[in-house]
Amino acid sequence: MRKRDGVSIVRRSMKENKFVKYLGYSWIEVMNRVHEFRSGDRIHPELVLIHEN
């Protein structure tokens, strides 16, 4: 399966289950902790650390 195929499956599932992806938002899990980022975010509590790495 190509990466693009996986994306299609996820998008279809989201649509069928009426999930909504808010534009400009991303979530990532690091060490069992979920971080939320917004497009152009300048208020994330760990912004300095994020930009250092």
- 3-class DSSP assignment, residue 34: strand
Residue 38 CA to residue 53 CA, distance in Å, equals 18
Model confidence, pTM:
0.38
Q: Which residue has the tokens 């991303």?
A: 26
- How much is the pLDDT for 14? 86
At 5-51, the pLDDT tens digits run 888 898 899 889 998 777 788 888 888 988 888 877 777 787 788 77
- How much is the pLDDT for 53? 67
